[in-house]
Structures are given as C-alpha cells and as structure tokens.
Amino acid sequence: MSRIAGRIATLLVSLAGLLFVTFALGRLLPVDPVLAVVGDRAPPDLYAKVAHDMHLDRPIAIQFALYAAAMARGDFGQSSSTGQPIMSDIARFFPATLELATFAIVIGVGLGIPTAVFCVRHAGRLGDHLGRIVSLLGLSIPVFWLGLVGLLVFYAKLGWVGGPGRTDVAFQYSVPVVTGLAVVDAMLSGDWAAVQDALSHLVLPGGILGLVAFGYVTRMTRGFLLWQMGQDYVTVARLKGLSEAAILWRHALPAATGPVLTVILWTYAYLLEGAVLTETVFAWPGIGLYVTQSLFAGDVPAVLVGTLVIGAVFMLINQCGDLVQAALDPRSRAR
Amino acid sequence: MAWLTTDTPQTRMQARLGSVYRGVRLLLGGAVGRLGSLFVAAFIAVALVAPLLPLADPGAQDLAARLQPPGGSHWFGTDAFGRDIFARVMLGTRPSLFVALAVVSLSAPFGLILGAAAGVFAGPAERGLMALTDVFMAFPRLVLAICAAATLGAGVETAILAVAATGWPAYARIARSEASSLRGSEFLQAAQALGSSRWGMLIRHVVPLCVPSAVVRAALDAATVVLIVAGLSFLGLGVPPPTPELGGMVAAGRDTIFEAWWVSTFPGIAILLLSLGFNMLGDALRDLVDPRTR
Amino acid sequence: MGTIDVLAGSPPFSPLLEIAGLHVRFDGAAGQAAVRGVDLTMGRERLAIVGESGSGKSASVRAVLGLLPSSAVVTADRMAFRGEDLLAVGPNRLRALRGRRIAMVVQDPRQGFNPVRTIAAQLREMLMLHGDAGRGGKPTRDQLAAMLDAVHIRDPERVLTQYPHQLSGGMAQRAMIAMMLAGKPDLLIADEATSALDVVVQQQVLALIDEQVTLRGMGLILISHQLDLVARFADRTLVMYAGRVVETLTHRRDAHPPRHPYTRGLLACRPTAADLGRDLPTLTRDPAWLA
C-alpha cells in the first residue's frame, strides 16, 4: 500500500516539475506576452491593464501558484492562433493520436512477441541474429523519413493506401463523431465505404509507428525471456528432463505476461513521442500535429499546454506500467 | 598478443589493456557487434575526413541542374537548388554526430557521477536523487525539446541542452544501482581503513566500476539522440540552414517527394544507418557487460 | 592423475557410471581448462567429490548430463551410463535420461523452483513427465502429498499450496529431493545440495538423502567443498584440485591415510580442541599440484 502511495507521490511531483518547466519556459520568452495581446501601439494604461489581468505585476511565486491553480481547474487559456479555448482543441485532437497509437501497439505486440520467442528458440544462432537486427532496425528508423518514403511508395506509386489526413474529403463530415476514433465512428455509422476509407488512411502511419513499437516490444521481450532462461529454475527444469521448447512455452513465457503488459504500457508512452513526427508528415490531426502547428504559428500558450498534456499522459502511463509490474509479482503479493 | 592475453599481468596497465583486448575480441566476435562497430566507425571516419575529400561544393547552387536524378556526376542526384546531395549527405553527418556526441558527453558524466554518489552515500542523498531522476525521466524528450525550441528559440544549443537535460537520469539510475550494490564491499571498507576520503573513494574506486554500463547506455542513447535531433531539424528546430544537416535535408525534400524521391531518401538512409549502428553497438556491448544476458 | 579404486572383496558389478579421460574447457576463457583428465567409475555406491570452487567438480557431472553452456568443449575417452555410451548419443537421449535415470539436486532450492508456481504444480509436472501416473492421467493430490510425506515433510497439504519463497531452506530442499526422486532414477547427484543450509539442517538433509538412496538402491554422487561433512556419508571420496582428481579416499578401517599434500593440508586445516592457544594451520598451495 505504501508502495502505491509512493508512486502516486512520485507522479504528482513529476507533474509539478513538468508544470514548473512549462511555466518557466513560458516566462523565458524573448517576446513580451502583453504586446502579443495588445499590439505595438497600445496606450500605456491599456498595457498596464492587460499586464495586470495577466498577473504579470505579481511576484513570480504567486504567478506560478495562479498558473498551477488554473491548470488544475482545467482552464488552459486560449489559443492565440485558433482563438478557441486550448482545452477544447486538445480534446478534439487527442482521440486521433490514441487511434494511431493503439493500431501501432496491436501491430507491435502481434509481431513482436512471436519474434522474441523465435529469437530465444534460436538463441546464439542465425535466427536470433536476424531477429535482433530487425528489432533494432525498428528502433533506428527516423519515422518522419519512413513516412515520406511510405507515402511515396504506397500512396503515390502503388495507390494501395489513402494519402495524408485521416479521411477523404468526401467522408469528412458525413460520419457523425462519437468516439473521436475515425474507424470506430465509421463502423458505428454502418457506412462500409467510410470504414474502408478510414482504415486506408490509418494503415500507413499506423504501420510505421507499428514498426517502431515492434522494435521496442521485441527487444524488451527478448531481453526478459533470455534473462528467464538463464535463471536457476530453468536449469532445474532441464534437470527434470523438460525440452527447451517446453521450458520456453510453459515456464518462461507465462512468467513474461506481467512484464509484457508493462512493456505495452511503456510502448504507448513511447509512441506518443513518435506520433508527433508521424502526424506532421501525414497531416494526421492528433495532438502531436497540434503542438507542431501551434509552434509554427507562434502560438506559445498552445505549445506549452500541449506539452503539458502529452507529458502528463506520458507520466501517467509510465507510472501505471511500473505499478502493474510490481503488482504482478507474487513475491510482492504474498507479502 | 600473448602479452595481452597472459594470465599473469605484471602491471595494472597490462591487466587493463588485456581486458580491453578481450572485450574488443568478444564484441567483434558476433555479427551484431561487428556490424555496429563498422557502421559507427565508418560514420566517424566520414565525418572527420569529409571536408578534406574532393567532393562537390555542398553550397554551390546550380539552378540549371536542379532536381537531377542520381547518376553521372551526382551520385545521389541534386536538390531543388541544384546542390549535390552526395556531398551534402557526407557533410551532413558532421552536425548529427557532433550533436549526438555533445549530448552524450554532457549527460553521461553528470548522470554517472551523481548516480554513483547517491548509490555510495545512500541516505537522504540517495532518496533525493531517485526522486529527481524520476521527475526528469518522466519528461517526453522530443516534445520537451520542441517546447524549449518554441520558447527559448530554435538552434543547436537549445537542442543540445534540452536533450541532455532529459537524458542524464538514465545514467544516474544505472550508476546508482551498481554503486549501491558495491556499498558494503570489502574493498571499499579497506580503502576507507587506509584513509581514503569518501569522495576520493567514489572517484577512484566506484566510478570506474560503473563506467562499462554507462558506455552501453551511451551507445544506445546516441542512437536515440540522433533520431531526436534529426526530428527536430526536420521540424526546422535544429541546425539552421544552409549548413547541411540530415534531418533538415529530409524536410527540404518533402515538397518534391513525389517527383524527386532522391532528395529526401538518401539523407534518411544515412540517419537510419547511423542510428542503427549505435543501436547495434550498444546491444552488443550490453551482452558483454550485463551478466544476465550472457 | 586419477585412480580407479576397486573395492576389494565385493562382488563384480557392471558400473553405473564410467568416465575416462574427461576434459572440459570453455571457449574464450583464459587459463587452464576446467576439467583436465578425470577418471571415475562407480556402481550403486555413495561417492563423494570434494574440492574448492573452480576445482571442476560441478563441471564434470554437468558434462555427463549435457548441461554445460554452449561455449564448453567436452572431450572424453569414455563416458557411459549403465553401459550406454553417452558420447555417441544426441542431446535428445541425454534429455531423456535427465530426471528419469539420473537426477540432480542443486544448491539453492528456493531458486531452483519456479517462483511464480506452487509446489504442487511443479511436483505434478515432474510426475506427469516421469512418474507412473504420467502414463495414466493427472496425478492426484494424494499422490503429491505422499511424495512430500516420503521426505518427512510435516503438513504436506499446506506445503503443496505454497510458493517456493514461502518455504524454509530445509523444507524446500526436501521438496526438491522429493521431486527429483519421482522418476525413480538410478543415480542421484547432490551438487552442493546442503551448502546453502544452516548446520543442523545440513545434517538432516544429508541423512534424508542417505535414507532415500539406501531405500531405493541408488547410486549417489555427493559434491561438496566440505570434506568432513560428506566423508561420513560416502563410501569413497574423490578429492579434486584444479580440474584433476588428486586423491581417492576410501572410508574403510584399513584404508591408507591420505597421501596427496593437498588432501593432507585440507585435513590439517580443520580446527580441533587440540589447537587451542595455537595459530591455526593454513594451506600453502604448491604450484606443482597444477601440473
């Protein structure tokens, strides 16, 4: 129990740290935030009034406290480029990233675990080397580059998949938004053509991120399985007369379910970052694209809040992963 | 050779060189280690000698020869300004390697020493450090670097600082766990009995033992940093033009990707191979250093 | 070099285990080979192998079982179990022998069991592999409890439901012995089986091994670094140093006293009441022993 409390405390401290960093970065702007609002030619009393409204005349500590309080309330301010409340922008964009990441995870785990098992079965031999190199490849690919190449080959040359964006213009407004996940919404609306369209757009960016996820999952799972196979109880299992295959499937792999669950969670977090670049290349309206678009529009508040949200989700998922890992070990359960 | 592999080294230097020699042989014994070392060595060589090679001028614009496909005098073709892509890729390895090495040289020693100190001294120092690393490790690296670039201004220094600031905790974690397992060791007690100060003990005895894991981490970290920095440059937040930089070159080719595939493709392959080289090297080193995967 | 000691006056037997000229070395390791010419012949008797760490005692038996890492290079003039030539068979046959004909108990029983499965599950797995019940259906709870009962574990029902880390060292080792004997093997190897236990429990476990081996008419190889401990239970003791058997001790009343200086040094190092007030003797190694 105290462990969980410790983890929650760590999470809160990390969030506070993230909050502080975004606050500090916001204040370190070379641009005068008041001028950004009132313009160059504002009279001094208007300038003073806006400065007061933005709390810029209060001590730094108070400013941070007010900032933190506003964040806690969910009041993230307005985007200077879209004019909308930032929070509603983010709520609109987030599901797209979720859809992308989930698709990638399914591919990553679906391919990654069998590959890891294959590597361990052929440990030290050619199969293992090949598997290792392939998974390392997944981790070394610059996703933005692969996205471009993928679009070139599979969209422009072969026409197998849809182009940038989430859906074709034709379907843009015909499918009611329920979950925010394009494929799910299309399925719910019963429009088969819309489902196909949504999938054809999802396949390429999702597949590319899936490659990254595959690399990550394979490496972690292979490492864990190899570690298990080196344990004393595996030696004893061999002494019992069990075959290597039986040991792998009946002992090492079941022991891996906990760590694999943890790896899945960590991969989600890892993909959040990769999504930023992929979304930029594919014009995929997710939170990563939101951050980069705001960046190019000079909309600093939006960038800061976007970073905050991505960072917070990242932290939350990682902590959950740590928790799951600790919870599934019977040695800690029994205590 | 026999001098290096002898069972009875006569000096400390001989013993050290001997174990380095054995380590290098093991590293190059496996395919992954060999390929990784080859790639990294090749890139370092290219980065070092590229300015001296008889390449085309990377900045020379020749608008009559813009967007030429690979072939003839332009092995990788030309870009939208008629510049030779092969030369630009060769020179583009320099900033990528430089930034990767800069980041690692900042974050690794800092994290290593901090972590080793926490592991050895224990108590509130250790707990404080763990909390600090937890907080810093929780930050998403690329996103924070983007945020930093948005506020502090895009550029190499910002990128290096932002990426290094999120990278040091990994080294600290590893060093701390190694150092804390050494904490009760007899050789440390002996050193203390001989009058060694705690910091002296740390620097002379504990830190050297934590270096191998830090090296493994550095190789893997370099792979990640290469990708992050390339991503930043792709977004226009890294090395500014006209300096050839691999990520920026991929971005430059984006508009013409369908007509002139070579502009983005070759720099991207270079990024891939560089990152892959570091990853393979790190993976092979890890097999050497981590007793669990032996 | 090794010696082969035939017990005078005993009926001729076909050896259970024969090893001649066994060499084991590890690829890539500097220095001498782990095992440098070991000869061993035993019947259904109790053999102890004693030596310090690195003497090659564990490596020798693991070579027989085919359990050395892939970097190990094993050569021998002869290696046979119950007359079957182990050098000629493949790894599948060796695997078939393990657990069924040759069993081994290792040092730390709590690490030797799978930490996330109950004792019952692991015993059951062994019975289904090798026991008589394996040819029928699933072993019953009673059969599992009987296995634990045979090694004098009180309250076997409760132990069956527990996880390895919940057992004491002695209890876990008993359960391990029960598990390893389930296949009714001909030869039991105890590799430092008591080294992780405290003194009182050590004696109990050794007595248990002794009892089971007698009951079932098995051969026993006791590997240890503690000469005193195993000598009491063994018919013969091989003393190993640096990969070779330097001496064979028989524990009959008319046996000759130890001849090799290493053995004599080991025996002299044991503290006795007579040493009160004097410096304890230490063992000085002669490099000539490495030859």
Q: Which of B41-55, B185-199, C166-180 has the highest mean pLDDT?
A: C166-180
- Quickly list H helices, C244-291: 261-268
Cross-chain residue pair C28–B26, CB shorter than 8 Å:
yes
Q: Does C71 touch chain A (CB under 8 A)?
A: no
A238 vs C70, C98, C126: nearest CB: C98
Cβ proximity of A305 and A86 under 8 Å = yes
C30 vs B contacts (CB less than 8 Å): 5, 7, 22
If one compares B196 and A121, the residue with the highest pLDDT of the two is A121
Question: What integer best gives the mean pLDDT of chain C?
Answer: 83
Say yes or no to pLDDT of B293 above 60: no
**B33-44 residue pLDDT tens:** 888 999 999 999
Cross-chain residue pair B230–A142, CB shorter than 8 Å:
yes
Angle between helices A60-73 and A2-27 in degrees, nearest 10: 120
B143 vs A contacts (CB less than 8 Å): 272-273, 276, 291, 306-307, 310-311, 314
Q: Does C31 touch chain B (CB under 8 A)?
A: yes
B258 vs A136, A146, A152: nearest CB: A152
Place of tokens 């990654």: A112
If one counts the domains in chain C, the total is: 1
B5 vs C contacts (CB less than 8 Å): 30
Cross-chain residue pair B148–A25, CB shorter than 8 Å:
yes
Cross-chain residue pair A149–B265, CB shorter than 8 Å:
yes
> Which of the residues in chain A have pLDDT under 50?
333-335
Q: Which of B147, B250, B254 to mutate to test the interface with A (most CBs of A within 10 A)?
A: B147
What pLDDT does residue B273 have?
A: 95
In chain B, the domains with their CATH numbers are: 72-293 (1.10.3720.10)
Cross-chain residue pair B139–A291, CB shorter than 8 Å:
no
Give the neighbours of chain B: at least 3 Cβ pairs within 8 Å.
A, C
Cross-chain residue pair A233–C115, CB shorter than 8 Å:
yes
Cross-chain residue pair C67–A237, CB shorter than 8 Å:
no
Cross-chain residue pair A240–C126, CB shorter than 8 Å:
yes
Cross-chain residue pair A141–B272, CB shorter than 8 Å:
yes
A237 vs C contacts (CB less than 8 Å): 114
B159 vs A contacts (CB less than 8 Å): none
Chain centre to alpha carbon of residue B118:
24
What pLDDT does residue A36 have?
A: 62
Structure tokens at A7: 């983890």
B22 vs C contacts (CB less than 8 Å): 30
- The enclosing domain of C245 has a CATH number of 3.40.50.300
What pLDDT does residue C131 have?
A: 67
If one compares B194 and A55, the residue with the highest pLDDT of the two is B194
What pLDDT does residue C197 have?
A: 87
Structure tokens at A169: 């213009």
Cross-chain residue pair B7–C31, CB shorter than 8 Å:
yes
Mention every residue, 6+ apart, whose C-beta is less than 8 A from residue C144.
C120, C123, C124, C127, C156, C160
What pLDDT does residue A106 have?
A: 93
Class of domain A87-334: mainly alpha
The residues of chain A that CATH labels 1.10.3720.10 are 87-334
A235 vs C contacts (CB less than 8 Å): 67, 106, 112
Which residue from B minimizes the CA distance to C27?
B26
Chain centre to alpha carbon of residue B152:
24
Pairing outcome for strands C72-75 and C236-241:
unpaired
Cross-chain residue pair A235–C112, CB shorter than 8 Å:
yes
What pLDDT does residue B42 have?
A: 94
Pairing outcome for strands C78-81 and C84-85:
antiparallel
Which residue from C minimizes the CA distance to B19?
C30
How many contacts (CB atoms, under 8 Å) link A and C? 65
Distance CA B40, CA C187 (A): 54
Partners of C187 in the β-ladder = C102, C219
How close is the nearest chain A Cα to the Cα of B6, in Å?
A: 28
Q: Does C287 touch chain B (CB under 8 A)?
A: no
What pLDDT does residue C2 have?
A: 38
Range of the domain at C211: 5-270+279-290
Least confident range from B149-158, B212-221, C142-151: namely: B149-158
Partners of C23 in the β-ladder = C36, C75
What pLDDT does residue B44 have?
A: 92
Q: What are phi and psi of B265, to 5 degrees?
A: -65, -50
> Which of the residues in chain C have pLDDT under 70?
1-13, 28-31, 131-137, 252-255, 291
CA proximity to B94, closest of B246, B277, B240: B246
Distance CA B179, CA B116 (A): 5
Pairing outcome for strands C17-26 and C72-75:
antiparallel
Cross-chain residue pair B32–A133, CB shorter than 8 Å:
yes
**A145-199 residue pLDDT tens:** 999 999 888 888 888 887 787 777 666 666 777 777 777 777 777 777 878 888 8
What pLDDT does residue B45 have?
A: 92
Mention every residue, 6+ apart, whose C-beta is less than 8 A from residue B119.
B126, B175, B176, B177, B178, B179, B180, B181, B182, B183, B206
Cross-chain residue pair C28–B7, CB shorter than 8 Å:
no
Distance CA C125, CA C131 (A): 10
Q: How far is CA A29 from CA A35, B147, B166, C87, in A?
A: 12, 11, 21, 76
Cross-chain residue pair A311–B272, CB shorter than 8 Å:
no
Identity at B240, one-letter amino acid code: P
Cross-chain residue pair C108–A232, CB shorter than 8 Å:
yes
Structure tokens at B171: 């080294």
Distance CA B104, CA B98 (A): 10
Q: Does C134 touch chain A (CB under 8 A)?
A: no
Output Rg (C-alpha) for chain A, integer angstroms: 24
What pLDDT does residue A34 have?
A: 67
What pLDDT does residue A270 have?
A: 80
Partners of C74 in the β-ladder = C24
Pairing outcome for strands C46-50 and C236-241:
parallel
- B/e letters for C36-59, b = 16+ CB within 10 Å, e = fewer, are bbbbbbbbebbbbbbbeeebbbbb
A236 vs C70, C97, C106: nearest CB: C106
Structure tokens at B290: 């981590």
Q: Which of A231, A233, A253, A331 to mutate to test the interface with C (most CBs of C within 10 A)?
A: A233
CA atoms within 13 A on the CB side of B97: 22
Q: How far is CA A328 from CA A254, A322, A331, in A?
A: 12, 10, 9
A134 vs B contacts (CB less than 8 Å): none
C126 vs A contacts (CB less than 8 Å): 240
Q: Does C143 touch chain A (CB under 8 A)?
A: no
Cβ proximity of A93 and A199 under 8 Å = no
Q: Which of A120, A226, A227, A236 to mutate to test the interface with C (most CBs of C within 10 A)?
A: A236
How close is the nearest chain C Cα to the Cα of A251, in Å?
A: 8
Pairing outcome for strands C35-42 and C102-105:
unpaired
C95 vs A124, A243, A250: nearest CB: A243
A330 vs C104, C113, C116: nearest CB: C116
Peptide bond into B242 cis (omega under 30): yes
